[in-house]
Amino acid sequence: MTVRTRVAPSPTGDPHVGTAYIALFNLCFARRYGGSFVLRIEDTDRARSTTQAEATIIESLRWLGLDWDEGPDIGGPHGPYRQSERTEIYRQYADQLLAAGQAFYCFATPEDLDQMRRDQMARGETPKYDGRGLALSAAEVERRLAAGEPYVIRLKVPEDGVCTFQDLLRGEIQIPWSQIDMQVLIKADGMPTYHLANVVDDHLMGISHVIRGEEWINSAPKHQLLYEYFGWDMPVLCHMPLLRNPDKSKLSKRKNPTGINFYRAMGYLPEALLNYLGRMGWSMPKEEEKFSLAEMLEHFDIENVSLGGPVFDTEKLDWLNGRWIRESLDDEAFAQRVSDWVLHSDKLRQIIPLVKDRVEKFSDLVSISSYFLSGIPSLDASQFGQGKLDIENCRQVLQFSTWVVDEIDDWEHQALYEGFAELATAMQVKLRDLLVPLFIAITGRDSAPPLFDSMAILGPDLVRARIRNALSTIGLPSKKQLKRYEKDYRQLLEGKALP
């Protein structure tokens, strides 16, 4: 068998270290068996996918030193490698399933489905699609299609019995069909869902092994069913253990920086980050902690992956990165890497327009722009609560700011300005006052070069980490407080004033 693996990120938001982790294991597996590794961009969510995010994913995976044999940027015999360019293909396969009675039209509106769920819950049942589309006669379907009613296409799923499938690391897995939803395959906008596009592409691209995160285990029955309906062999499935926060919860940006670009901006070496990701659930034969990609490739064996949730611990990463810096960079290489990091002309060109007006001599530059280079500023609680907002208000504003930041897809000045201006209006606070705690969180001081431009340069992960740092300086909100903030924030978004 020709081994072919793939990583299939969705270009929404910042490239996640989890994507690099999965890419690394797919790459190692393919190389180990002399096979090929493919990058596929899963951009069927048209509202959330951006070309900017795709470019950033490619750039950051390359920065890490990962490379692929086929992909949207380099082409290959199985392209296009961007799902939005393959919609015709998916539609043909959906039609094939419809013709065979393995998929069906559903005309239920979102309101109908909400009502259905409410009724089910009122009866004490677990909410689930009730198969109403299956009950429509062929004539009724024809009539509604001819009338131009919006519809989705759903997968027909057995009602009883158990789905059994194999996982390379976990052996046999069983999931009762009653837990599997009649998945939407084609959405109302005509785009395929992940499930249909993923199965069709894995087949057409000749993928032999699907190595992906364990969060996809529950999708495997739907995928297996699709392979069966199409009469195709299913690739070998291998679900990797999820990366975890030190408290063992799923690694999330709310608790830990998760963006590859955060680690890049902080000045970690790509080979150290890759080394660290390689140690997530896998170990070298002699348990060496520091190893290069070439060494990992030489010894790679997927069977050595252990399923206990690997903890992504930044202290451990710091230690490993320090070793790489000390043991593998001579002074010359060190100087080169520091200049590749931020002390290069492209970065200076971004920073200079923000600071030029404040500089009388070059030596002023260092203190004015130091916050672009430092990781997380050291703050003191007494810096907060001096202006119009007291400490409690600062805590609330900083917490709300983390949510504003989360919602900004297009990370640039204007979007940041609009996000925060909207928050200020909703909170009935002057934008200038609202930004004071944010200034301190981001720059370490209460006045500095323009804030939104600075945030745009720093990037979302570093900004989020600095806001979180400010929150822990003044005291993180308690669980109860956080619940109240969440409620208040939702209320603000709905245009209601706070109590």
Give the residue numbers marked as catalytic: 253
Considering the rule CB under 6 A, would residue 260 count as an interface residue with ligand GLU?
no
Q: Which of these ranges, 7-15, 70-78, 237-245, 478-486, lies near ligand GLU under the rule CB under 6 A?
A: 7-15
Scored b (16 or more CB within 10 A) or e, 167-190 reads ebbeeebebeeeebebbbbbbeee
416 touches ligand GLU by CB under 6 A: no
Q: Return the number of other C-beta atoms located less than 10 Å from residue 337's C-beta.
A: 14
Residue 383, CA distances (Å) to 5, 158, 378, 471 in order: 52, 62, 11, 12
Q: Which is nearer to ligand GLU, 168 or 391 (CB)?
A: 168
Q: Tell whether the torsion through CA atoms of 104, 109, 113 and 115 is positive or negative.
A: negative
Told to check if 30 binds ligand GLU by CB under 6 A, we report no
Token pair, residue 453, equals 């431009």
**Minimal distance in Å, beta carbon 216 to ligand GLU?**
5
Rounded least distance, CB 199 to ligand GLU, Å: 9
Q: How far is the CB of 246 from ligand GLU (least distance, A)?
A: 23
Task: Please report whether residue 466 would count as binding ligand GLU according to CB under 6 A.
Answer: no
Q: Which stretch binds ligand GLU (CB under 6 A): 8-16, 145-153, 249-257, 436-444?
A: 8-16
Nearer CB in complex with ligand GLU: 10/443: 10
Minimum Å distance from CB 314 to ligand GLU? 23
With respect to ligand GLU, which residue has the nearer C-beta, 38 or 457? 38
Length in residues, the chain: 499
Cβ 451 to ligand GLU, closest distance in Å?
A: 32
3-class SS at 60? helix
- Residue 84 near ligand GLU by CB under 6 A: no
**CA–CA separation, 300 and 298 (whole Å):** 6
Size of residue set near ligand GLU by CB under 6 A: 8
Q: Print the binding letters for residues 151-190 with ligand GLU: x by CB under 6 A, - otherwise.
A: ----------------------------------------
Residues 6+ apart with CB under 8 A from 228: none
- Minimal CB distance to ligand GLU: which residue? 212
Rounded Cα distance between 222 and 182, Å, is 9
54 part of the interface to ligand GLU, by CB under 6 A: no
Which residues, listed in sequence order, are joined to residue 239 by a DSSP beta bridge? 212
**385 CB neighbour count, 10 Å cutoff:** 17
Stretch near ligand GLU under the rule CB under 6 A, chosen from 5-13, 90-98, 265-273, 391-399: 5-13
Please identify, using beta-carbon distances, which residue of 216 and 403 lies nearer to ligand GLU: 216
Q: How far is the CB of 195 from ligand GLU (least distance, A)?
A: 9
- The SS3 assignment for 300 reads coil
Residue 14 as a binder of ligand GLU (CB under 6 A): the answer is: no
Cis peptide before 477 (omega within 30 of 0): no
Can you state the angle between helices 460-474 and 451-458, rounded to 10 degrees?
110
Determine the Cα–Cα distance for residues 477 and 427; give it in Å rounded to an integer: 18
Query: Binding to ligand GLU (CB under 6 A): which residues in 193-222?
Result: 194, 198, 212, 216
Nearer to ligand GLU, 207 or 368 (CB): 207
Stretch that binds ligand GLU, among 3-11, 55-63, 182-190, 385-393 (CB under 6 A): 3-11
434 and 388 in contact (C-beta within 8 Å)? no
Spatial separation of the C-alpha atoms in residues 47 and 39, rounded to whole Å? 21
Question: What is the full DSSP assignment across 309-356?
Answer: --B--HHHHHHHHHHHHHHH--HHHHHHHHHHHT-SHHHHHHHHHHHG
Position 10 contacts ligand GLU (CB under 6 A): yes
Can you give 209-273 as a three-state secondary structure string? Answer: EEEEEHHHHHHHHHHHHHHHHHCCCCCEEEEECCCECCCCCECCCCCCCCEHHHHHHHCCCHHHH
- Interhelix angle for 220-230 vs 87-99, to 10°? 70
Smallest separation, CB 177 to ligand GLU (Å): 21
230 forms part of the interface with ligand GLU (CB under 6 A): no
How many angstroms separate the Cα of 497 from the Cα of each of 9, 379, 425, 431? 39, 32, 10, 16
**Angle 345-355/451-458 helices, nearest 10 degrees?**
170
CB of 154 to ligand GLU, least distance (A): 20
Closer of 212 and 279 to ligand GLU (Cβ): 212
Q: Does 271 bind ligand GLU (CB under 6 A)?
A: no
Minimum distance of ligand GLU from residue 139's CB (angstroms): 38
- The answer to the question of residue 26 lying near ligand GLU (CB under 6 A) is no
∠ Cα 423 426 429 (to 5°) = 80
Instruction: Give the residue with the Cβ less far from ligand GLU, 79 or 127.
Output: 79
Q: Which of 3, 4, 5, 8: binder of ligand GLU (CB under 6 A)? A: 8
43 binds ligand GLU (CB under 6 A): no
Is residue 42 close enough to count as binding ligand GLU by CB under 6 A? yes
List interacting residues with ligand GLU (CB under 6 A).
8-10, 42, 194, 198, 212, 216
